[in-house]
Amino acid sequence: MILGIFKSRAWYRYSSEPLAVFGLGLLFVIVFLAVLAPVLTPYPNHAGRFVDFGNTSRPPSLQHWFGTDLVGRDVLTRVVYGYRISLVIGFVVLGLAAPLGVTLGLVAGYMGGRFDTVIMRITDVFLAIPALVLAMAVLGVLERTLINGLLALAVLWWPWYTRMVYNQTRALRHEEFVVAARVVGASHLHILFREILPNLLPSVLTKFTLDLGFVILVASALSFLGLGVEPPTPDLGSMVAEGATYQPDMWWLPVFPGLAILLVVLAFNLVGDGLRSMFGEGR
Amino acid sequence: MTSVAESLVPPAEDPVLIRIEDLRRDFTVGSRTVSALAGVSLDIRRGQTVAVVGESGSGKTTLGNQILGIDRPTSGRILFEGREITATRDTDMRRRIQVVQQSPYTTLNPKRNLRQILELPIAIHSDRSRRQRRDRVAELLEIVGVSADFMERYPYTLSGGQRQRVALARALAPEPDVIVLDEPTSSLDVSVQARILQLLVELQAQYQLTYLFITHDLSVVRNIADEVVVLYRGYVVERGATAELFSNPLHRYNAMLLSSIPVVSEPEEALKPSWEWDGSVVGVEPSVGAACPFLPRCPHAVALCEQGVPPLVAETPTHQHACRNPRSSESAHRE
C-alpha cells in the first residue's frame, strides 16, 4: 500500500527533481530525530531544567559531539529537541493560519460584492504591516508564552493564504464546471469546498510546505530577539541568540543550532519546490 | 413588442413553455454601458428546438444565462409556464432547466470522478439512497452511450466527445423539461459532432425535451431546429421557421451568416449574396440605439436606417425580420 506511492504518476514526476528527493530525505531524517528525540539523544534530561557546573562550555568532543552550553547541557541533545519545538510551531501556526486564510479567500473570491470588499480590505491592512513588527507588537502586548507566540505568527500568516486563494477563486468562479454546479442547484458550501477547493489544493499544499520553513525561520528570528519560547525549553533561535554573546570563543554554541535551522528551512523549501513542479506550476 | 411575439405563434395546440418579454441586460464597461441584450422577446414552445444564432458578442450566451438563472436581467421578464422566474426560482424550478456547455475540457471538474459529478444533481433533486444513486449514475451513462464501467474515472481519461456525453448525462440527471445547449458541439471533431447531434435528437424524442440551442454555426442547427432566432448585438434581427429562414433570408446579417456556410449544391449557391462582406468586427463601433445596430457593416444601408432601431416586422406569420431594406426574393436574382 505505502510502497504503491513509489509507482504513482505523482511520485514519478516528483522524483524527476533530485534536489526535491534530497529535501524529502532530509525532512524524513529531521522528523525522525524530532519524534524519537527521547530515545536517540545521548542526554535527554538536558532538554529540561538541568545544570552541571562542572561541565560547562566544553568544545565538541566524543562525549558531547556539539559541545556543551553555559550551564553544562549537551548541545546536540538540545538541537534535536529544538527541532521538536520548531516543527510544532510550524504546523500549529499554519494549521491555524491556512484554513482560516483559505476559507476567507474562497468566500471573498466566490461571493464577491461586499464579502470581497470587506475581507480583502482587512487582508490588505494586515499585508501592509511588516510581519516581524506585527508579531513583536502582539508579543509585546500579550504575555510571552508559547501559545501567544503561535497566535502572533498565525495572525501574521493568514492574509497570504487569503490573497492567493482569492485570486485563484476569482479565476475559477466562471469556469464552466462551477456554472454547471450552480445550474444543477448545488449549495454555495458545496461549490466552495467540493468544486473549487480541490482545484486549489496543489497550490495551497505547495505554499504550506514552503511556509513551514519560513515560519520556523521567523519563529527563530523572534526567539533571537527574545520574544519566543521561554527557557528552559530548547529553542533553536534562542540558542543562537545566547551563543552569539560569546563569540568567537564558543563557536559551537550558535553554529550548530544555526545549521539546524538552515537544514530544516532548506528541507521544506526543496520539498515545496518539488511539489510545485510536481503539480506542474510555473514559478 | 409583445404583439409581435404573439403574432409569430400560430394558434396551435403547442403551449408556450418559456416566454421571454423584452429582456434587457446591460453591462458597464469602464464608463460605457453595453447592452448584451437590448430588449429580446421570445417564445419557446414545449418539445421544440429553438436555435439562437449570432457571432461572438451578439448576446446569445447572455440570453442562455438569463434562462438558466445564473445571471439577472436589467429589465424584462422570463415566464415559465406562465410563472415569473426572472428574479428568484426554487429548487424544483432549477431542476427543470439544465445546461450543456461549450468546452468539454472545463465543463467537468477535473478533481471529481464521473460518479461524483453525476451523483450531485441526483442527490439534490431526489431522495434516492446511496445505492440507488449509484444505479442511476450507471443508467445515465448508458443512456448517453458511455460505459458504466467508467464511473470511477476522472475526466482527463475521457475524449472530448465522451466528456460532452457525460455533461449531457449531468443535464439529464434531474429530469429537466428544458436543456440550454450552449454551443455543445463547437469544440468537437465533425464526426463526433454529428454523433452528439444525433444523440440530442434521440433524447429529445425519448424524454420530450425542449432545447434552446445556442450556436454561431447555422449549418449545425439546420437539421435539428424548429425555429431560428438570429441575434445581432443584443437585438433580434430575424427569426422564423428554420426552412423559411434558410431559404429566404431577409435581414442582411442573416444573409451574411448563411453565405458563410460551405455549400455543395447549385441551388444553395444561388442563394448567396454576391456582395463581399467584411466578417471582421474589429473597429466597428456599436451604434447606441439611435440607428440600426447593423448599419456600420451593412452594404445596403439606406437613409432610413439611421432613424432608430428597426422594429421586427412580419414577412409571413412564421417569419420576421428587422431590416429597413430587406433582401427580397426578387432582388436575390438581381444580385
Q: pLDDT tens digits for B191-205?
A: 899 999 999 999 999
CB contact under 8 A, B99 and A181: no
Q: Residue A176: pLDDT band by 50, 70, 90 thresholds?
A: very high
CB contact under 8 A, A185 and B70: no
Stretch B223-231: mean pLDDT = 92
Contacts of B167 in chain A (CB under 8 A): 180
Higher pLDDT, B212 or A141: B212
Classify residue A38: in a domain, yes or no: no
Mean pLDDT of chain B: 85
Q: Are strands B178-182 and B227-232 parallel, antiparallel or unpaired?
A: unpaired
pTM above 0.90, yes or no: no
Stretch A178-194: mean pLDDT = 94
Residue A226 in this model has a pLDDT that exceeds 80: no
All cell numbers assigned to B68? 438558466
pLDDT of the residue at A1 = 55
Classify residue A177: in a domain, yes or no: yes
Classify residue A12: in a domain, yes or no: no
Write the residue in B102, B108, B174 that is nearest to A184 by C-beta.
B174
CA angle A226/A231/A237 to nearest 5° reads 45
Residue B50: helix, strand or coil by DSSP?
strand
B264 Cβ contact list (under 8 Å, min separation 6): none
Mean pLDDT of chain A: 88
Classify residue A212: in a domain, yes or no: yes
Number of domains forming the structure of chain A:
1
CA–CA distance, B102 with B193 (Å, rounded to integer): 12
H or E segment and range at residue A111: helix A75-111
Give B25's strand partners. Answer: B37
Name the residue in chain A with its Cα closest to that of B105. A176
A89 Cβ contact list (under 8 Å, min separation 6): A149, A150, A153, A215, A216, A219
The tens digit of pLDDT for each residue in B71-90 reads: 999 999 999 998 899 888 88
Higher pLDDT, B257 or A280: B257
The tens digit of pLDDT for each residue in B296-331 reads: 888 888 888 888 888 888 888 889 988 888 877 544
Write the residue in A179, A184, A198 that is nearest to B111 by C-beta.
A198
Stretch A153-176: mean pLDDT = 93
Stretch B44-59: mean pLDDT = 91
- The CATH number assigned to the domain holding A227 equals 1.10.3720.10
pLDDT of the residue at B279 = 55
Q: In the A/B pair of chains, how many CB contacts fall below 8 A?
A: 56
H or E segment and range at residue B36: strand B32-45
Stretch B206-215: mean pLDDT = 95
Give B235's strand partners. Answer: B232
Instruction: Give the domain extent around B35.
Output: 2-334
Instruction: Give the domain extent around A167.
Output: 67-278
Classify residue A104: in a domain, yes or no: yes
A256 CB burial (10 A radius; 0-12, 13-18, 19+):
buried
Chain centroid offset of residue B58 CA? 11
Write the residue in B70, B108, B174 that is nearest to A177 by C-beta.
B108
Q: How far is A197 from chain B (nearest CA, A)?
A: 10
pLDDT of the residue at B82 = 86
Q: How far is A253 from chain B (nearest CA, A)?
A: 50
Q: Residue A15: pLDDT band by 50, 70, 90 thresholds?
A: confident
Number of domains forming the structure of chain B:
1
Residue B5 in this model has a pLDDT that exceeds 70: no
CA–CA distance, A246 with A253 (Å, rounded to integer): 8
Interface test with A, best of B62, B94, B108, B120 (most A CBs within 10 A): B120
Classify residue A56: in a domain, yes or no: no
* 3-state DSSP of A160-209: HHHHHHHHHHHHHCCCHHHHHHHHHCCCHHHHHHHHHHHHHHHHHHHHHH
Classify residue A235: in a domain, yes or no: yes
**Percent of chain A predicted with pLDDT > 90:** 47
Interface test with A, best of B89, B111, B126, B212 (most A CBs within 10 A): B111
Give B181's strand partners. Answer: B100, B213
pLDDT of the residue at A250 = 85
pLDDT of the residue at A282 = 41
Are the C-beta atoms of residues B174 and B98 closer than 8 Å to each other? yes
Interface test with A, best of B61, B90, B95, B109 (most A CBs within 10 A): B109
Higher pLDDT, A91 or B276: A91
B128 CB burial (10 A radius; 0-12, 13-18, 19+):
middle
For chain A, the residues whose C-beta falls within 8 A of a C-beta of chain B are: 175-177, 179-186, 190, 194-195, 198-199, 201
- Residue B120 sits at φ, ψ, to 5 deg, of -55, -55
Q: Cβ atoms within 10 A of the Cβ of A24, count?
A: 18
Contacts of A194 in chain B (CB under 8 A): 112
- The CATH number assigned to the domain holding B9 equals 3.40.50.300
The tens digit of pLDDT for each residue in A187-224 reads: 999 999 999 999 999 999 999 999 999 999 888 888 88
Classify residue A233: in a domain, yes or no: yes
CA–CA distance, B116 with B153 (Å, rounded to integer): 10
